[in-house]
Structure 1
């Protein structure tokens, strides 16, 4: 189960909406071993694509160095889907390299129709996708 603050959820959704029609991506770091997301880091989608996201390698390395220095780890890895549901694609599953992380997907496909973004969380371990419950805190 993912427990995340409503403020972090709203910030992730705002990032996805702001970057639409391109996919948005980022990481929420937290204290190592805590499973508690605390620090949102919006990343640049180096692919600048509505159908694919890619972390900029230089930016990602700098973030990992910062997390290591702060005794943090990636608790949430997130990105958006702009035209499909918030469910990991085969590409997403193949790229999932953090077995301890929650993979959050935000779908912005209904924004142009006046709808709301869809926010879901998954565990992806060894190619197996498991949707998990989300609890939002104040």
Structure 2
């Protein structure tokens, strides 16, 4: 399987991603685990967070981020070091993709915000080898 296929498999199989951003004061990284869906057309991650969550203030103060997916099938994972997080108003297609993967999350949507994670490249680890994919 080539690296692009490995990446797509990981992004479809993984349900959680660890996203690191800076604290509001910019003094330390802060990591959180969120449910996500990968949007292959735009090479973005989409996640939802409670409207009162402290991470919303962190993202508003500092959009720089890094992420790693959970490990899937035989220790495969993807990660990006130079990503950007931003609050978005999701399109119907985005919401459909998210709620298709996480149907019970729809109940929380009215009290949540949606965010995308944009990235231009990712490291893909599979079969004890790491390769970089660029979009």
TM range (shorter): 0.3 to 0.5
Larger Rg: 2
**What TM-score, normalized to structure 2?**
0.33
**Which structure shows the higher strand fraction?**
2
